[in-house]
Amino acid sequence: MSENQQAIQHIVSMEDLTTEQVLKLIKRGIEFKQGEKLVYQDQHLVSNLFFEDSTRTHKSFEVAELKLGLDMVDFDAKTSSVNKGETLYDTILTMSALGVEVCVIRHSQEDYYRQLIASPTITASLINGGDGSGQHPSQSLLDLMTIYEEFGHFEGLKIAITGDLNHSRVAKSNMQILKRLGAELFFAGPEEWRSQEFADYGNFVTIDEIIDQVDVMMFLRVQHERHESGTSFSKEDYHAKHGLTQERYERLKEKAILMHPAPVNRDVEIADHLVEAPKSRIVKQMTNGVFVRMAILEAVLAARKAQ
Protein backbone atom coordinates (compact mmCIF):
# COMPACT_ATOMS: atom_id res chain seq x y z
CA MET A 1 0.00 0.00 0.00
CA SER A 2 1.43 3.37 -1.05
CA GLU A 3 1.41 6.32 1.38
CA ASN A 4 -0.03 8.34 -1.50
CA GLN A 5 -3.25 6.32 -1.72
CA GLN A 6 -6.18 8.29 -0.30
CA ALA A 7 -9.95 8.64 -0.27
CA ILE A 8 -11.71 11.76 -1.61
CA GLN A 9 -15.50 11.82 -2.06
CA HIS A 10 -15.76 14.16 -5.09
CA ILE A 11 -13.06 15.98 -7.09
CA VAL A 12 -14.74 19.07 -8.52
CA SER A 13 -12.57 22.09 -7.69
CA MET A 14 -8.94 22.69 -6.73
CA GLU A 15 -10.22 25.01 -3.98
CA ASP A 16 -11.93 22.05 -2.30
CA LEU A 17 -8.73 19.96 -2.11
CA THR A 18 -6.22 20.31 0.71
CA THR A 19 -2.56 20.84 -0.18
CA GLU A 20 -1.80 17.36 1.18
CA GLN A 21 -4.50 15.80 -1.04
CA VAL A 22 -3.09 17.62 -4.10
CA LEU A 23 0.49 16.49 -3.43
CA LYS A 24 -0.60 12.89 -2.86
CA LEU A 25 -2.63 12.87 -6.10
CA ILE A 26 0.34 14.03 -8.16
CA LYS A 27 2.75 11.64 -6.41
CA ARG A 28 0.29 8.78 -6.95
CA GLY A 29 0.08 9.81 -10.64
CA ILE A 30 3.88 9.53 -10.81
CA GLU A 31 3.71 6.06 -9.20
CA PHE A 32 1.26 4.92 -11.89
CA LYS A 33 3.50 6.41 -14.57
CA GLN A 34 6.45 4.50 -13.11
CA GLY A 35 4.59 1.21 -13.51
CA GLU A 36 2.46 0.79 -10.38
CA LYS A 37 -0.39 -1.57 -11.31
CA LEU A 38 -3.96 -1.38 -10.06
CA VAL A 39 -6.75 -3.40 -11.70
CA TYR A 40 -10.10 -3.56 -9.90
CA GLN A 41 -11.47 -7.10 -9.71
CA ASP A 42 -15.02 -6.10 -8.67
CA GLN A 43 -17.33 -4.34 -11.11
CA HIS A 44 -17.35 -0.53 -10.89
CA LEU A 45 -19.48 1.42 -13.38
CA VAL A 46 -18.12 4.78 -14.54
CA SER A 47 -19.63 7.17 -17.07
CA ASN A 48 -17.96 10.05 -18.90
CA LEU A 49 -20.61 12.68 -19.61
CA PHE A 50 -19.20 15.37 -21.88
CA PHE A 51 -21.71 18.10 -22.75
CA GLU A 52 -18.90 20.23 -24.23
CA ASP A 53 -16.34 19.04 -26.77
CA SER A 54 -13.14 17.42 -25.56
CA THR A 55 -10.33 15.25 -26.89
CA ARG A 56 -7.70 15.08 -24.13
CA THR A 57 -9.83 15.08 -20.97
CA HIS A 58 -12.46 12.70 -22.34
CA LYS A 59 -10.06 10.23 -23.94
CA SER A 60 -7.50 10.26 -21.14
CA PHE A 61 -10.23 9.51 -18.59
CA GLU A 62 -11.23 6.61 -20.87
CA VAL A 63 -7.65 5.34 -21.04
CA ALA A 64 -7.29 5.69 -17.25
CA GLU A 65 -10.55 3.74 -16.77
CA LEU A 66 -9.38 0.99 -19.15
CA LYS A 67 -6.04 0.68 -17.33
CA LEU A 68 -7.86 0.37 -13.98
CA GLY A 69 -10.24 -2.29 -15.33
CA LEU A 70 -13.33 -0.13 -14.76
CA ASP A 71 -16.53 -0.62 -16.75
CA MET A 72 -17.54 2.38 -18.85
CA VAL A 73 -21.19 3.24 -19.43
CA ASP A 74 -21.30 5.05 -22.76
CA PHE A 75 -23.00 8.47 -22.89
CA ASP A 76 -23.35 10.75 -25.90
CA ALA A 77 -25.08 14.07 -25.18
CA LYS A 78 -25.97 14.41 -28.88
CA THR A 79 -28.16 11.26 -28.85
CA SER A 80 -29.41 11.41 -25.25
CA SER A 81 -32.67 12.71 -23.75
CA VAL A 82 -30.90 16.05 -23.27
CA ASN A 83 -32.40 16.69 -26.72
CA LYS A 84 -35.88 16.22 -25.21
CA GLY A 85 -35.16 18.83 -22.57
CA GLU A 86 -33.73 16.57 -19.85
CA THR A 87 -31.73 18.64 -17.36
CA LEU A 88 -28.21 17.87 -16.20
CA TYR A 89 -29.64 17.06 -12.77
CA ASP A 90 -32.02 14.48 -14.25
CA THR A 91 -29.31 12.94 -16.44
CA ILE A 92 -27.02 12.42 -13.43
CA LEU A 93 -29.93 11.27 -11.27
CA THR A 94 -30.66 8.64 -13.95
CA MET A 95 -27.05 7.47 -14.17
CA SER A 96 -26.92 7.23 -10.40
CA ALA A 97 -30.19 5.23 -10.30
CA LEU A 98 -28.72 2.83 -12.88
CA GLY A 99 -25.83 2.07 -10.54
CA VAL A 100 -23.14 4.26 -12.07
CA GLU A 101 -20.69 4.92 -9.25
CA VAL A 102 -18.59 7.70 -10.76
CA CYS A 103 -19.69 10.42 -13.22
CA VAL A 104 -16.97 12.41 -14.98
CA ILE A 105 -18.76 15.52 -16.23
CA ARG A 106 -17.86 18.43 -18.50
CA HIS A 107 -20.55 21.09 -18.76
CA SER A 108 -20.78 24.75 -19.81
CA GLN A 109 -22.58 25.79 -16.61
CA GLU A 110 -20.17 27.10 -13.97
CA ASP A 111 -20.42 25.35 -10.58
CA TYR A 112 -22.97 22.83 -11.97
CA TYR A 113 -21.63 20.27 -9.49
CA ARG A 114 -22.78 22.06 -6.30
CA GLN A 115 -26.46 21.23 -6.92
CA LEU A 116 -25.63 17.61 -7.78
CA ILE A 117 -23.47 17.09 -4.69
CA ALA A 118 -26.20 18.59 -2.47
CA SER A 119 -28.83 16.12 -3.75
CA PRO A 120 -29.70 13.36 -1.26
CA THR A 121 -30.82 11.06 -4.11
CA ILE A 122 -27.77 11.31 -6.35
CA THR A 123 -25.38 8.72 -4.96
CA ALA A 124 -22.77 8.82 -7.75
CA SER A 125 -19.38 10.41 -7.01
CA LEU A 126 -18.50 13.37 -9.20
CA ILE A 127 -15.34 14.30 -11.03
CA ASN A 128 -15.40 17.68 -12.76
CA GLY A 129 -13.94 17.52 -16.27
CA GLY A 130 -14.41 21.29 -16.68
CA ASP A 131 -17.29 23.67 -15.88
CA GLY A 132 -17.62 26.68 -18.20
CA SER A 133 -14.95 29.21 -17.23
CA GLY A 134 -14.89 27.83 -13.67
CA GLN A 135 -12.59 24.95 -12.72
CA HIS A 136 -10.66 22.14 -14.44
CA PRO A 137 -9.11 20.18 -11.56
CA SER A 138 -7.81 17.17 -13.52
CA GLN A 139 -6.00 19.53 -15.94
CA SER A 140 -4.56 21.46 -13.02
CA LEU A 141 -3.33 18.24 -11.39
CA LEU A 142 -1.65 17.04 -14.59
CA ASP A 143 -0.02 20.46 -14.95
CA LEU A 144 1.26 20.22 -11.37
CA MET A 145 2.53 16.69 -11.98
CA THR A 146 4.43 17.94 -15.05
CA ILE A 147 5.99 20.85 -13.11
CA TYR A 148 6.84 18.60 -10.14
CA GLU A 149 8.54 16.02 -12.40
CA GLU A 150 10.65 18.82 -13.84
CA PHE A 151 11.65 20.76 -10.72
CA GLY A 152 10.76 18.48 -7.77
CA HIS A 153 9.14 21.41 -5.90
CA PHE A 154 6.87 24.45 -6.39
CA GLU A 155 8.18 26.85 -3.72
CA GLY A 156 9.84 29.89 -5.30
CA LEU A 157 9.20 28.90 -8.93
CA LYS A 158 8.38 31.83 -11.20
CA ILE A 159 5.40 30.91 -13.35
CA ALA A 160 3.74 33.10 -15.98
CA ILE A 161 0.24 32.31 -17.25
CA THR A 162 -0.55 34.13 -20.46
CA GLY A 163 -3.51 34.51 -22.80
CA ASP A 164 -7.27 34.29 -22.49
CA LEU A 165 -7.31 34.58 -18.68
CA ASN A 166 -10.95 35.49 -18.05
CA HIS A 167 -12.32 32.51 -19.97
CA SER A 168 -9.78 30.02 -18.68
CA ARG A 169 -10.77 27.43 -16.09
CA VAL A 170 -7.16 26.20 -16.38
CA ALA A 171 -5.79 29.61 -15.31
CA LYS A 172 -8.22 29.86 -12.39
CA SER A 173 -7.59 26.32 -11.13
CA ASN A 174 -3.82 26.71 -11.48
CA MET A 175 -3.43 30.18 -9.96
CA GLN A 176 -5.19 29.15 -6.76
CA ILE A 177 -3.16 26.01 -6.13
CA LEU A 178 0.18 27.31 -7.42
CA LYS A 179 0.06 30.29 -5.06
CA ARG A 180 -0.84 27.95 -2.19
CA LEU A 181 2.18 25.78 -3.11
CA GLY A 182 4.51 28.79 -2.93
CA ALA A 183 5.04 29.69 -6.60
CA GLU A 184 5.37 33.33 -7.70
CA LEU A 185 2.79 34.10 -10.38
CA PHE A 186 2.66 36.55 -13.29
CA PHE A 187 -0.20 37.11 -15.73
CA ALA A 188 0.22 38.32 -19.31
CA GLY A 189 -1.88 38.62 -22.45
CA PRO A 190 -4.43 41.16 -23.73
CA GLU A 191 -5.57 43.64 -21.04
CA GLU A 192 -9.25 43.23 -22.03
CA TRP A 193 -9.04 39.54 -21.03
CA ARG A 194 -7.93 40.23 -17.45
CA SER A 195 -10.08 40.76 -14.38
CA GLN A 196 -9.17 41.93 -10.90
CA GLU A 197 -9.49 38.43 -9.42
CA PHE A 198 -6.07 37.61 -10.92
CA ALA A 199 -4.46 40.52 -9.05
CA ASP A 200 -4.97 38.60 -5.78
CA TYR A 201 -2.67 35.86 -7.04
CA GLY A 202 0.12 37.63 -8.96
CA ASN A 203 1.32 40.61 -11.00
CA PHE A 204 0.21 41.69 -14.47
CA VAL A 205 3.11 41.96 -16.94
CA THR A 206 3.74 41.74 -20.68
CA ILE A 207 5.24 38.56 -22.11
CA ASP A 208 8.34 40.51 -23.14
CA GLU A 209 8.92 41.78 -19.58
CA ILE A 210 8.85 38.30 -18.06
CA ILE A 211 9.87 35.65 -20.61
CA ASP A 212 13.57 35.63 -19.68
CA GLN A 213 12.85 35.32 -15.92
CA VAL A 214 10.32 32.50 -15.62
CA ASP A 215 10.80 28.80 -14.85
CA VAL A 216 7.45 27.93 -16.42
CA MET A 217 5.77 29.77 -19.29
CA MET A 218 2.18 28.57 -19.46
CA PHE A 219 0.18 29.56 -22.56
CA LEU A 220 -3.63 29.44 -22.70
CA ARG A 221 -5.82 28.75 -25.71
CA VAL A 222 -7.73 31.68 -27.20
CA GLN A 223 -11.26 30.42 -26.58
CA HIS A 224 -13.01 31.75 -29.69
CA GLU A 225 -16.19 29.84 -28.77
CA ARG A 226 -16.58 31.90 -25.56
CA HIS A 227 -16.01 35.32 -27.22
CA GLU A 228 -19.57 36.40 -27.99
CA SER A 229 -18.60 39.41 -30.12
CA GLY A 230 -15.48 37.84 -31.60
CA THR A 231 -11.94 39.03 -30.99
CA SER A 232 -10.74 42.51 -31.85
CA PHE A 233 -7.44 41.41 -33.40
CA SER A 234 -6.19 39.06 -36.10
CA LYS A 235 -4.34 35.87 -35.26
CA GLU A 236 -1.17 37.42 -36.70
CA ASP A 237 -1.53 40.43 -34.36
CA TYR A 238 -2.15 38.19 -31.35
CA HIS A 239 0.86 36.03 -32.16
CA ALA A 240 3.14 39.05 -32.62
CA LYS A 241 2.06 40.74 -29.36
CA HIS A 242 1.37 37.81 -27.03
CA GLY A 243 2.47 34.55 -28.65
CA LEU A 244 5.60 32.41 -28.48
CA THR A 245 7.78 33.44 -31.42
CA GLN A 246 11.24 32.04 -32.16
CA GLU A 247 12.76 35.24 -30.77
CA ARG A 248 10.88 34.88 -27.47
CA TYR A 249 11.69 31.16 -27.29
CA GLU A 250 15.39 32.01 -27.45
CA ARG A 251 15.01 34.36 -24.46
CA LEU A 252 13.68 31.56 -22.19
CA LYS A 253 16.10 30.48 -19.42
CA GLU A 254 18.09 27.33 -20.16
CA LYS A 255 16.00 25.18 -17.75
CA ALA A 256 12.66 26.90 -18.39
CA ILE A 257 9.74 24.90 -19.79
CA LEU A 258 6.71 25.90 -21.80
CA MET A 259 3.28 24.46 -21.24
CA HIS A 260 -0.18 24.69 -22.85
CA PRO A 261 -3.30 22.70 -21.89
CA ALA A 262 -4.05 22.17 -25.61
CA PRO A 263 -5.63 22.13 -28.08
CA VAL A 264 -3.10 24.70 -29.32
CA ASN A 265 -4.10 27.24 -31.93
CA ARG A 266 -0.85 26.80 -33.82
CA ASP A 267 0.76 30.09 -34.95
CA VAL A 268 -1.54 31.97 -32.55
CA GLU A 269 -0.48 31.15 -28.96
CA ILE A 270 2.67 29.26 -30.05
CA ALA A 271 4.52 29.21 -33.39
CA ASP A 272 3.75 25.93 -35.18
CA HIS A 273 7.37 24.75 -35.14
CA LEU A 274 7.75 25.40 -31.37
CA VAL A 275 4.81 23.27 -30.17
CA GLU A 276 7.13 20.24 -29.93
CA ALA A 277 10.37 22.19 -29.32
CA PRO A 278 12.89 20.87 -26.70
CA LYS A 279 11.57 23.16 -23.92
CA SER A 280 7.94 22.23 -24.64
CA ARG A 281 6.22 19.85 -22.20
CA ILE A 282 2.87 19.86 -24.06
CA VAL A 283 3.05 16.20 -25.13
CA LYS A 284 4.20 15.22 -21.63
CA GLN A 285 1.20 17.06 -20.16
CA MET A 286 -1.13 14.90 -22.26
CA THR A 287 0.64 11.68 -21.21
CA ASN A 288 0.60 12.72 -17.54
CA GLY A 289 -3.16 13.28 -17.83
CA VAL A 290 -3.76 9.53 -18.01
CA PHE A 291 -1.77 8.78 -14.84
CA VAL A 292 -3.10 11.61 -12.70
CA ARG A 293 -6.65 10.66 -13.75
CA MET A 294 -5.94 7.10 -12.58
CA ALA A 295 -5.03 8.62 -9.19
CA ILE A 296 -8.23 10.70 -9.20
CA LEU A 297 -10.44 7.70 -9.98
CA GLU A 298 -8.69 5.58 -7.36
CA ALA A 299 -9.21 8.26 -4.66
CA VAL A 300 -12.90 8.67 -5.47
CA LEU A 301 -13.55 4.91 -5.53
CA ALA A 302 -11.69 4.50 -2.22
CA ALA A 303 -14.00 7.06 -0.61
CA ARG A 304 -17.03 5.02 -1.74
CA LYS A 305 -15.52 1.85 -0.28
CA ALA A 306 -14.89 3.64 3.01
CA GLN A 307 -18.56 4.75 3.32
- Asked if residue 57 binds ligand CP (CB under 6 A), the reply is yes
**Contact predicate 189/164, CB 8 Å:** yes
Pick one of 139, 168, 174, 176: the residue that binds ligand CP (CB under 6 A): 139
d(C-alpha 26, C-alpha 142), whole Å: 7
d(C-alpha 103, C-alpha 96), whole Å: 8
Give 96's strand partners.
Answer: none
Residues 116-135 binding ligand CP (CB under 6 A) are: 130
Per-residue mark of binding to ligand CP, 218-237 (x: CB under 6 A):
--------------------
Nearest approach, Cβ of residue 262 and ligand CP (Å): 5
CB-CB contact of 88 with 107 (8 Å): yes
Name the residue nearer to ligand CP (CB basis): 96 or 288. Answer: 288
**DSSP structural state of residue 79:** G
In whole angstroms, the minimum distance from the beta carbon of 136 to ligand CP comes to 6
Q: Output the smallest distance, CB 288 to ligand CP, in A.
A: 12
Residues 4, 261, 269, 275: which binds ligand CP (CB under 6 A)? 261
Closest contact distance (angstroms) between CB of 210 and ligand CP is 23
Q: How far is CA 110 from CA 32, 58, 119, 261, 297, in A?
A: 31, 18, 17, 19, 22
Number of CB atoms found within 10 A of residue 121's CB: 8
Spell out, one character per residue from 278 to 307, where the chain touches ligand CP: x when CB under 6 A holds, - when not: ------------------------------
Alpha carbons 177 and 179: distance in angstroms, whole number: 5
Strand partners, 127: 11, 104
φ/ψ of residue 102, rounded to 5: -130, 125
> What is the Cα–Cα distance from 265 to 222, expressed in whole angstroms?
7
For ligand CP, which stretch binds (CB under 6 A), given 50-58, 64-72, 179-187, 205-213?
50-58
Annotated binding site: 56-57, 84, 106, 136, 139, 169, 221, 262-263
Annotated binding site for L-aspartate: 84, 169, 221
Q: Which residues bind ligand CP (CB under 6 A)?
A: 54-58, 130, 139, 261-263
